[in-house]
Amino acid sequence: MQEIAHGENYMTRFDSYAATASYPDKGSMLKQLLVTFATLVLLAAAATGAHAQTFSAVYNFGSQAFDPINPLPSGIIAQGRDGAIYSGAPGGANSLGAAYKVTPSGTLTTLYNFGNTLSDGVDPYGGLTLGTDGNFYGTTNGLEFASFTTVFKMTSSGGLTTLYTFTDGTDGAGPMAPPIQGTDGNFYGTASTSQSGYGTIYKITPAGVFTLLYQFDITHGEEPDGPLVQGTDGNFYGTTKYGGANNVGVIFKITSAGKLTVLFNFDNTHGAYPQSLLVQGSDGTFYGTTVGGGTNSYGVVFKVTPTGKLTVLHNMDYATDGANPWAGLMQATDGNFYGANANGGAASSGCPSGCGTLFKITKTGVFSVLYNFDLTTGELPYTTMLQHTNGILYGTTQLGGTGNVDPFCAAGDCGVLYSLNIGAVPFVSLVSTTAKIGKTVEVLGQGFTGATAVAFNGTAASFKVASDTYLTTTVPTGAKTGPVTVTTPGGKRTSNKTFRVTPQFTSFTPPSGAVGTLVTITGVSLTQTTKVTFGGVAATSFTVNSDTQVTATVPTGAKTGKIVITTPGGTATSATNFTVTP
């Protein structure tokens, strides 16, 4: 990789690669948009937003020779079992990208330098996902050449296995994000391009068995650059940068079997060019950003229901807010959402047009700037922030900082890994957030040595402390959907996500009956039952007798078919049909 000069952003690098690849026009519209932004000169009097006192530069990339440098989108950051922060970036010993970890105190270790062999792939700047097996999963973008485009698995010590190499055929190529692990244990991801040029969605097992789920066709979207998110309904949600009715991107939903539905077509007014992930809030609504469009053409923050009703929460203003929120959003334990604008904000000597900002926004759209970058502390924050279990937010910038040892970048050109302390208390994070009774759940945190109790929504569970930052626990009989707590010597820590206990359907009796028949249903985790249906028709009355039994009355209009029980943890379906008799 050639040295990236100060001021060069992601789209400049993207297009320099694309010019030698098969799709030289990709990103041209967005590039022009960002170039226009970058040329704006802001009056100092218009610059607002005080620097937060809780910002810190944790590590300046380029502080060691052959560091990973210039973190790029999506650059997803994962917390490991050891409490360190893991991701990938360009640079490294071969100048073809590196996977790395950084401790919260700022010690960086390069785990793997890509390009050691051609089968490794190059440019792992999508970042990493922690799997339930303790390994990390990611992709290499391959400079948009399929032979260097891969899905890989990496151990916490840097042992790398290539799981799949894209062919740039129907399977796609050029993934910009790591795959995520679904509740079924498989990984689901996106590739930005394909044989048609529009991108794909895929599934891959931990062993590397690859399945193409969907190939985009412009009408349903083009270039899915961001990672997917699995909703509580079991479906996957995401965005495409282009395509759709107005060619400025879409929001889509796709089942694990590959059935895709466009939920919303962006139209400039409500935003344009969504680039990052969606995040499902604690209210069940999805939240996200676009890098363009909106009232001021600098991007928007939006929320969208699982059925596709979209509301713009905030229109970015270049001078006061910053512009182009490539990084998307994350919801912190205080219930608010946090994000980053890649450009704009307060002017500084290093950035006359602003180096970008960090911001907070509430569910109702109350927006505030928390920090203005100033080159020394970073420039072009492109990546989604992670809230570490210590309560602090971490993210990266592509440029800025003071690292100047690496031979491929100079001071101000290497990037920064930063932290933002929002005053949140430590918590525990669940590697998986849904499971059946008896299954093992992994928990991340700190201060676990000497832990005395683990509970699922108040129900005590057995557990095993593996280290001060990692423990495993078993979903106990009688557990209910709700928070998981760990009692440590330092106090009780609560999970940042609700754990959903999956209900199980065992049997029902009688096997048939007329309207008004009382049916006894047996299963597991039925205490929180909220709905019972017969052939899709809701029972007008039911009684929860115990955690293993529910009785329901066959409703008027009931149809022969499966009986389905719904709880906050999901649904359970009978193996056989209930027959409705005259």
Are residues 190 and 259 both part of a single domain? yes
Residue 14 clears pLDDT 70, i.e. is over it: no
Which helix (H) or strand (E) is 14 found in, with range? helix 10-18
- Across 393-402, average pLDDT: 98
In the predicted structure, residue 35 carries a pLDDT above the cut 50: no
Same domain flag for 396 and 264: yes
Per-residue pLDDT tens over the stretch 535-556: 999 998 999 999 999 999 999 9
pLDDT score of 53: 56
DSSP character at residue 36: H
Which residues share a beta bridge with 128? 138
Q: How many domains does the chain have?
A: 3
CA 124 to chain centre: 16
Position 219 confidence tier, pLDDT thresholds 50, 70, 90? very high
* Closest among 376, 380, 375, 412 to 396, alpha carbons compared: 380
**Quick one: 136 and 107 in the same domain?**
yes
511 and 396 part of one domain: no
Name the least confident of 41-55, 111-125, 150-164, 547-561. Answer: 41-55
- Output the pLDDT for position 283: 95
User: 178 in a domain, yes or no?
Assistant: yes
Q: Give the model's pLDDT for residue 467.
A: 98
Is 330's pLDDT higher than 70? yes
Question: Which carries the bigger pLDDT value, residue 31 or residue 393?
Answer: 393
Range of the domain at 50: 10-420
CA atoms of 98 and 424, how far apart (whole Å): 31
Q: Which of 420, 446, 471 is the last residue of a domain?
A: 420
- In whole angstroms, give the CA distance from residue 236 to residue 297: 28
- Output phi, psi for 386, to 5 deg: -115, 135
Residue type, 199: G
User: What pLDDT, on a 0 to 100 scale, did the predictor assign at position 147?
Assistant: 67
In a domain, residue 5? The reply is no
How does pLDDT run across 444-488, given as a tens digit for each residue?
999 999 999 999 999 999 999 999 999 999 999 999 999 999 999
**Among the listed ranges 12-16, 190-194, 242-246, 272-276, which one has the minimum average pLDDT value?**
12-16
Q: Which of 452, 478, 500 is the last residue of a domain?
A: 500
Residue 3 lies in a domain: no
What span, in angstroms and rounded, lies between the C-alpha atoms of 572 and 414?
Answer: 51
Interstrand relation of 85-89 and 78-79 (parallel, antiparallel or unpaired) = antiparallel
Give yes or no for a contact between 397 and 375, defined as CB atoms under 8 angstroms apart: no
Domain boundary among 389, 420, 451: 420
Do the Cβ atoms of 492 and 504 come closer than 8 Å?
A: no
Same domain, 445 and 519: no
Q: Is residue 261 part of a domain?
A: yes
Domain containing residue 14: CATH number: 2.130.10.10
Note the pLDDT of residue 195.
Answer: 62
Give me the mean pLDDT over the 82-94 stretch: 97
The answer to whether residue 47 sits within a structural domain is yes
Q: What is the CATH number of the domain that holds 552?
A: 2.60.40.10
Going from the C-alpha of 567 to that of each of 236, 398, 459, 572, the distances in angstroms are 20, 44, 17, 9
Q: Under a CB-based contact definition with an 8 Å cutoff, are residues 458 and 482 in contact?
A: yes
Residue range 342-370: mean pLDDT, rounded: 96
* pTM recorded for the entire structure: 0.90
pLDDT in the model for residue 153: 98
Q: Indicate whether 458 and 569 sit together in one domain.
A: no
> Percent of the chain scored above 90 by pLDDT?
86
560 pLDDT more than 90: yes
Q: pLDDT at residue 320 above 60?
A: yes
Q: Output the CA torsion 183→184→190→195 (10° steps).
A: -160
Identify the DSSP state of 130.
Answer: E
- Same-domain pairing of 118 and 229: yes
Residues 323, 455 share a domain: no
Whether 190 has a pLDDT exceeding 90, the answer reads yes
Please provide the average confidence, as pLDDT, over all residues in the chain.
Answer: 90
Structure tokens belonging to residue 541: 């009355």
3-state SS assignment for residue 11: helix
In the prediction, which pLDDT does 168 show? 87
Give how far Cα 141 sits from Cα of 14, 125, 573, Å.
11, 7, 41
For 162, other C-beta atoms within 10 Å of its C-beta total 15
In single-letter form, the type of residue at position 539 comes to A
pLDDT at 358 over 60: yes
Instruction: Provide the β-strand partners of residue 474.
Output: 440
pLDDT tier, 146 (very low <50, low <70, confident <90, very high otherwise): low
* Cα-Cα-Cα-Cα dihedral sign, residues 396, 400, 403, 405: positive
- Per the CB < 8 A criterion, the answer to whether 1 and 17 are in contact is no
Instruction: Examine residue 544 and state whether it is found in any structural domain, yes or no.
Output: yes
- Within 10 angstroms of residue 296's Cβ, the number of other Cβ atoms is 14
In a domain, residue 1? The reply is no
At 28 the pLDDT is: 37
Same domain, 520 and 465: no
Question: In this model, does residue 533 exceed pLDDT 50?
Answer: yes
Examine residue 4 and state whether it is found in any structural domain, yes or no: no
Nearest CA to 248 out of 270, 273, 283, 230 is that of 273
Task: Output the pLDDT for position 43.
Answer: 28
d(CA 582, CA 580) in angstroms, rounded, equals 7
Interaxial angle between packed helices 28-38 and 10-18, expressed in degrees from 0 to 180 and rounded to the nearest 10: 150
The position carrying tokens 């992601």 is 10
**Statement: residue 64 has pLDDT above 60:** yes
For residues 314 and 460, membership in a common domain is answered with no
The first and second tokens of residue 107, run together, are 């010690």
pLDDT at 296 over 50: yes
Residue 482 and residue 521 in one domain: no
Which residues contact residue 181 at a Cβ distance below 8 angstroms, ignoring those fewer than 6 apart?
129, 131, 132, 137, 187, 188, 432
CA 485 – CA 370 distance, rounded (Å): 30
- Residue 475 is given by DSSP the state P
Residue 144, pLDDT score: 52
The answer on 284 and 136 residing in a single domain is yes
Which residue shows structure tokens 């208390």?
Answer: 425
Assess contact for 31 and 17: CB atoms under 8 A.
Answer: no
Q: 285 is written with which tokens?
A: 């609504």
From 148-152, 208-212, 386-390, 562-566, the region with the lowest mean pLDDT: 148-152
Would strands 512-513 and 570-580 be described as parallel, antiparallel, or unpaired?
parallel
